[in-house]
Homo-oligomer: A and B are copies of this chain.
Amino acid sequence: MISFENDYSEGAHERILQRLMETNRVQQVGYGEDEYSLSAKEKIRAACGDPDADIFFIVGGTQTNLVVIDGLLSGVEGVVSAATGHVNVHEAGAIEYTGHKVLTVPEHQGKMDAGELKQYLADFYADPTHPHMVYPGMVYISHPTEYGALYTRAELQSLHDVCRAYDIPLFLDGARLGYGLTAPGTDVTLPDVARLCDVFYIGGTKVGALCGEAVVFPRHGAPERFITHIKQHGAMVAKGRLLGVQFDALFTDHLYFSISRHAIEMAEKLKQGFAQRGYRFFLDSPTNQQFIILPNADMDRLRDRVRFSFWSRYDDGHSVVRFATSWATPAENIDRLMAILDEK
């Protein structure tokens, strides 16, 4: 069975494992003050073009979202998200558990429109009853989105401008950031992200690490006592080296970017394969997630030999399904998938 179910089906890139081996018996202090974490932070600062960025390593994505959002909002504030935002749908209410409402605006392939955001904020403050409502206290976007879509630099700039006008932070969930930054046609770079966002994270779990997300607060923007906040939310690891070593490897010799580019190339190959066979796409994604409109007969036929994700019902005879490539996808797997498709 080959799997395109997601981008976390394998372990970690071998250079990461290698470094874990090499550094294994070197004694280090705990809680993220080890030398590998310090080195990784310096490399990430350089890659972001921001020598003043505050950086923290956290194990997983939902954890990062809840720690960041609860760390930035005041008690009466909520976070504005597209309706399809991961925080609104697939985190089991983790944000609400921290006491904050997820406020929703319409989504467009998972993206938020700056104009609609602006209108939402304007309407909120125009409503005389707004002191009885949850204040919009920050904006959450994902890049790529849950549908594999990307913002342009101009779109990020517009969201940034709206956030500045209302003095609320812009938070970019970069669980798959690598796949966004290396996608064909994108004009968004890591320094752009650092310049336009108040906080974002560089996803490791889905881009070659065993685990780990690097939270970046550009321009010394971390909240006071954020370490204690992380600890209180159960998000501090004793052996911070585990995260430090991994990000240090990922940001050495551009590994993060080269393995991301590989996933994109594999996605292109997969896309062409489906297209050449006449399959339709639910939307046109430039990243590692491809959404295909699959005849249900194909669904049944593939089930035992290929893993992929059911997304939604399309019509009586079709389903929307997701095929994801990753840093680890071998070209052969795509060839095998195509061969299976051709058997019919």
Contacts and interface: CB of A to CB of B under 8 A. Distances in A.
Nearest to A330: B25
Interface string A76-100: 1010000000000111111011111
A229 B132 CA distance: 9
Question: Chain A interface: which size bin?
Answer: 35 or more
B63 A92 contact: no
Contacts of A63: 234-235
Contacts of A310: 128
Given A21-B17, A227-B131, A76 B92 contact: yes
A23 interface: yes
Interface string A118-143: 00000000001101111100000000
Majority-rule SS of A interface residues: loop
Contacts of A94: 231-234
One complex includes copies of this chain to the number of 4
Contacts of A242: 11, 210-211
A344 interface: no
A302 interface: no
Contacts of A211: 59, 211, 237-239, 242
A96 B234 CA distance: 12
Interface in A1-32: 1-3, 5-6, 8-12, 14, 17, 20-21, 23-30
Contacts of A194: none
A6 B241 CA distance: 14
Nearest to A30: B8
B92 A228 contact: yes
Interface stretch (A64-72, A178-186, A267-275, A293-301): A64-72
A70 B98 CA distance: 13
Contact of A129 (B61, B90, B98): B90
A233 B232 contact: no
A236 interface: yes
5 contacts: A12-B24, A60-B236, A76-B228, A92-B229, A128-B310
Given A6-B30, A78-B96, A91-B132, 10 more contacts: A17-B21, A27-B307, A59-B237, A62-B231, A75-B232, A76-B225, A92-B133, A94-B234, A205-B238, A210-B239
